[in-house]
Structure 1
Amino acid sequence: MGKPRQFMPMHRPSRALALLLAVLLLAAACAGNDSDVDGFDGTVRLGAALSETGRFAMEGEDSRQGYDTWVRWVNEEYGGIRIGDGRYRAEIVYEDDESDADTAAELVQQLIDDEIDFLLGPYSSGLTGPASAVAEANDVIMVEGNGASDTLFDRGFRNLFLVATIATDYTRSGIEALAAQGAQTAVIAHVDTPFATSVAGGARRHLEANGIQVLAVEAYPEGVEDVSDLMAKLDGLDPDVFIGGGHYSDAVLFLQSAQELGIRLDAMLITVGPSNPQLVDDLGASVHGVLGPTQWEPAMAYEGSYFGSAADYADYYESLWGERPVYQAASSTAAALALHLAIEAADSLDADEVREALRELDVETFYGPIRFDERGVNVAKPMGTVQVQDGQIVVVAPDAAAMGKLVYPAR
């Protein structure tokens, strides 16, 4: 006869059963208190249409890194957005608007349909315009830092908020500094977009207010790849100052044409480009002496309770991305921070309460002061001006922010 059969305890099935029971109990507990397993009590979902492709791809990447800098900081350093007794994880859902206005509007509607809580803005006024119109139609708040055209805020919207300085004041501190150095005449060239047109209009007003004669104002269509004829025409007027309005690609066109034609002006003041180290890398010595407006620089003396000083923010940003932040990135971080602080002040995700909290916001930050007027425009922060000097980007105006002296004439 063989050995009698021995019945052993079923340890493995019982452990599996215990594990299953533990998982079920944990799930029930999480369902009961809406708490995530990582310690957060829920998620605040933001949405943003940004340019990953197309003509604004570089600025779109800077903007996304700025938004993601806030996400990393608020979740990992700050401990989540505080609402009531809870802490909520921040999440941003991105869609590629392909640098196209219609696509941006369609994607914002898609994000709203997907029930995001709030919106962050695209890059550029041309994309922010239709995107914010969709947000307004759906009564969804959008906070942004890179759509600065005045026309965006002439529509009476109640859901659009801008942390950056408005476009008509982009050139103000630079023009005041040039006037103080004796500049007497100027020409203006700009791409025919809402942002650049606002910049040009503001530049003309500031030039005239400072006694600088405007010899010509010329616009050119979006998408033009050669402005040599325009630059030659304006140079023929023998101006002291050239002011160019546009985005990064326009700065490249202005400077390449000037170099090819041998144009040497006492000063060139160009929006969106001179504040970005990439322009020096791309064009080298031809950028020397060029001026540009800047919303923010790491050397500025701004400081707040969140992120610390401008320099502290720049160090934190560099630790994440391996490069120093340009102002488009800082503007994006500041936009997300303003929304975050309004949510906490409202102690709610209710749109009416958060909107009211944004209108009452008055805070000092690494980006500068933030205080919105009735249009939704930050009226507390002045614009700075930088000049490329020996390959370095130096803040030269206004005097309170300057880290170096304006070189004039620059050529």
Structure 2
Amino acid sequence: MRALAPLISVLLLAVACTGSDRDDGFDGTVRLGAALSETGGFAAEGEDSRQGYDTWVRWVNEEYGGIRIGDARYRAEIVYYDDESNPDRAAELVQQLIDDDDVDFLLGPYSSGLTRAASAVAEANGVIMVEGNGAADTLFDRGFRNLFLVATIATDYTRSGIEALAAQGAQTAIIVHEDTPFATSVAGGARHHLEANDVEVLALEAYPEGVADVSDLVARLGEFDPDVFVGGGHYNDAVLFLRSAQELGIRTDAMLITVGPSNPQLVDDLGVSVNGVLGPTQWEPAMAYEGSYFGSAADYADYYESLWGERPVYQAASSTAAALALHLAIEAAGSLEFDDVREALQELDVETFYGPIRFDDRGVNVAKPMGTVQVQDGQIVVVAPTAAATGELVYPAR
């Protein structure tokens, strides 16, 4: 049955995106491929990412009129496989997308670990991959020519939040992070930004990937009693940290956790214990970003909600932006040739609903700053940077 999955995905998307009639005036098809987590530890984020990609597919086919290459218009399709949240499986499936499914380009998986594995295969085969959810700095230290990231790099995830907390008087912090490329990059960046803002780092500790109990780590908060706790990981880690803190009755003046606070699901899962918690965000519907494609951030959020019945989290918006960047590069190149599209990506400079996109020589979007949100009375409020803020930072939060 696994071999049938990509074919089923393509057929379902073709029907969803172009109606029941295949003779719809398109001159051909641009086929993209993505290994995404439908199962395993990243299943929640994988679903958000897939909905983000599918939002672009629906929009480009139904609203925009297809990818325009010269005078021709091409239908967009995406072939998906479940990478099972496993890097080895992701690498295997990307090779399958290239060899068996004959995709034109690749979109990235969720997480830096999976992106590392998948992009290595893409690079070895000379196939372009554009992604929005693998932000570890080490991904872009390998000299790859075919990997492009629309999101803000991991070392800057906590910058605006730390600057805001320091301005409010925070003086000490501890950092606890998952021992993965993304979380390690976030932690290294957090340490740099804390020290740059004269906040003393009392401890920096890593824990193994996939742990189910962090109570011992959280208990150490009581020993250090820092002003700020920085937690680096993914959604499941945020749930573990906050549940353990609640059970142990421990709360710092500020908790800044990399993934989770920007997702409304966290409030649904944990209730009032989330109030006051801070988190970085690549994007929020309230941000004042706007472009010629999808309109404003709020317009994009409304369109996304019309398709999926829920507001988009930033992982979804990052995925849509990745697909959009590739789409715009194809149109600028007027070609599906890798060299032409790669050059167009390197020259891309565009304002979008997601923010500005402009890649440096590494393939990193250096134009977009990172935002910070805080959960206030169950609502997600942008509190930093000042230019993007929709509310005031509450500090201390305990």
The aligned runs of 1:1-16 (5 Å cut-off) are: none
Instruction: Confirm or deny: 8 A CA contact 2:221 2:250 kept in the other structure.
Output: no
1:258 is aligned, of 245, 267, 286, to 245
Name the structure 1 match of 2:338: 351
Please list the CA deviations of residues 272-322 of structure 1 after superposition, one character each: whole Å capped at 9, or x if unmatched: 100000000000011000000000000000000000000000000000000
Amino acid at match of 1:96: D
Distance 1:207 1:93 in 2: 42
Q: Matched residue of 1:119: which SS?
A: strand
- Residue type of the partner of 2:228? V
**How many Å separate the matches in 2 of 1:362 and 1:398?**
22
Return the letter of the residue paired with 1:385.
T
The aligned residue for residue 162 of structure 2 is: 175
**1:230 offset after TM fit, Å?**
1.0
- 8 Å CA contact 1:51–1:60 kept in 2: the answer is yes
- Verify: 1:39 aligned to 2:39, yes or no: no
CA displacement 1:356-391 (0-9 Å, x = unmatched): 000000000000000000000000000000000000
Contact 2:176 / 2:230 at 8 angstroms: preserved in 1?
yes
Match of 2:184 in 1: 197
State whether structure 2 residue 80 is matched by structure 1 residue 82.
no
Distance of 1:390 and 1:241 partners within structure 2 = 20
Instruction: Work out which of the residue numbers 180, 198, 214 in structure 2 matches 1:227.
Output: 214
Q: Which residue of 2 aligns with 1:107?
A: 93
Partners of 1:168 and 1:147 in 2: how far apart? 12
1:244 maps to which residue? 231
State how 1:1-400 maps to structure 2 within 5 Å.
Answer: 37-113=23-99, 114-400=101-387
Shift of 1:38: 1.1
Relative to the length of structure 1, the TM-score reads 0.91
Distance 1:136 1:212 in 2: 40
Q: Comparing 226-235 with 255-264, which one deviates more in the overlay?
A: 226-235
Partner secondary structure for residue 139 of structure 1: coil
CA contact (8 A) 1:188 1:216 kept: yes
For these two proteins, the number of residue pairs brought into alignment is 376
Structure 1: where are the runs of 5+ without partners? 1-35
CA positional deviation for 1:223: 1.2
Counterpart residue type for residue 159 of structure 2: R
* Cα separation, 1, equivalents of 2:257 and 2:160: 13
Q: CA deviation at 1:235?
A: 2.7
Q: Secondary structure at the match of 1:400?
A: helix
Q: Which amino acid aligns with 1:79?
A: G
SS at match of 1:63: helix
Is the CA contact 1:216–1:234 (under 8 Å) kept in the aligned structure 2?
A: no
State the secondary structure of the residue aligned to 1:115. Answer: coil
Q: Secondary structure at the match of 1:353?
A: helix
| Alignment check: 8 A CA contact 2:104 2:336 kept | yes
Give the aligned residue type for 2:57: V
CA contact (8 A) 1:118 1:140 kept: yes
- What whole-Å deviation, never above 9, does each CA across 1:43-75 have from its counterpart, x for those lacking one? 000000000000100000000000000000000
| Percentage of pairs with the same residue | 88
Structure 2 residue aligned with 1:13: none
Q: Distance in 2 between matches of 1:384 and 1:163?
A: 15
Shift of 1:264: 1.7
* Cα deviation code 1:160-207 (max 9, x no counterpart): 000000000000000000000000000000010000000000000000
Tell me how far 1:234 sits from its aligned partner: 3.2
Amino acid at match of 2:104: D
Residue pair 1:172, 1:203 contacting (<8 A) in 2 also: yes
The 8 Å contact of residues 291 and 352 in structure 2, kept in 1 or not, is answered as: yes
CA distance in 2, matches of 1:264, 1:106: 43
Distance in 2 (CA, whole Å) between partners of 1:236 and 1:404 is: 32
Query: Which whole-Å deviations, capped at 9, do the CAs of 1:101-139 have from their partners, x for residues lacking one?
Result: 000000000000021000000000010001000000000
Instruction: Please identify the structure whose Cα radius of gyration is greater.
Output: 1
Residue pair 1:136, 1:157 contacting (<8 A) in 2 also: yes
1:25 corresponding residue in structure 2: none
Unaligned runs of 5+ in 2: 1-21
CA contact (8 A) 2:162 2:193 kept: yes
